[in-house]
């Protein structure tokens, strides 16, 4: 689920009620993109998929994606560590991992506050 920070006051559906906290799924995000950009839902879906694929591919290479005013997607590294199985209490080794991170930009932070 994606938390929606943009709210279009002119929309009457419950989805776009301003100043309320709500979650948006991919279909609702595609609907919003198609209506605000005045394009078909199919085109909005392709645009969203292309954007997600571009971010995913760039992160897979180890690079970051910076969208000025919105934020930066980057890859973080989680070190290997020793964990504990909560059921048995035995120690287990947890492998190192790469994790996606998002750092919001000034424009997004200002919009929310």
pLDDT, tens only, 35-83? 999 999 999 999 999 999 999 999 999 999 999 999 999 999 999 999 9
pLDDT, residue 9, reads 44
> Computed from CA positions of residues 96, 99, 105, 111, in that sequence, does the dihedral angle turn out positive or negative?
negative
pLDDT, residue 24, reads 83
Give the mean model confidence (pLDDT) for residues 6-20: 48
CB contact at 8 A, 7 and 18: yes
Beta bridge partners of 112: none
**Residue 46 to residue 33: CA distance in whole angstroms:** 11
pLDDT, residue 22, reads 66
Does residue 97 register a pLDDT over 50? yes
**Residue 43 to residue 11: CA distance in whole angstroms:** 21
Task: Return the closest-CA partner of residue 24 out of 42, 11, 43.
Answer: 11
If one compares 1 and 57, the residue with the highest pLDDT of the two is: 57
């Amino acid at each position: 689920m994606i938390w929606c920070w943009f709210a279009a006051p002119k929309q009457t559906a419950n989805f776009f009620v301003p100043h309320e906290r709500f979650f948006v799924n991919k279909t609702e995000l595609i609907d919003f993109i198609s209506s605000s950009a005045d394009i078909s839902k199919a085109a909005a879906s392709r645009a969203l998929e292309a954007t997600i694929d571009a971010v995913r591919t760039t992160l897979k290479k180890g690079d970051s994606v910076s969208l000025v005013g919105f934020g930066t997607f980057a890859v973080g590294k989680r070190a290997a560590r020793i964990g504990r199985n909560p059921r048995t209490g035995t120690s287990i080794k947890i492998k190192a991992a790469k994790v996606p991170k998002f750092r919001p930009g000034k424009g997004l932070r200002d919009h929310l506050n």
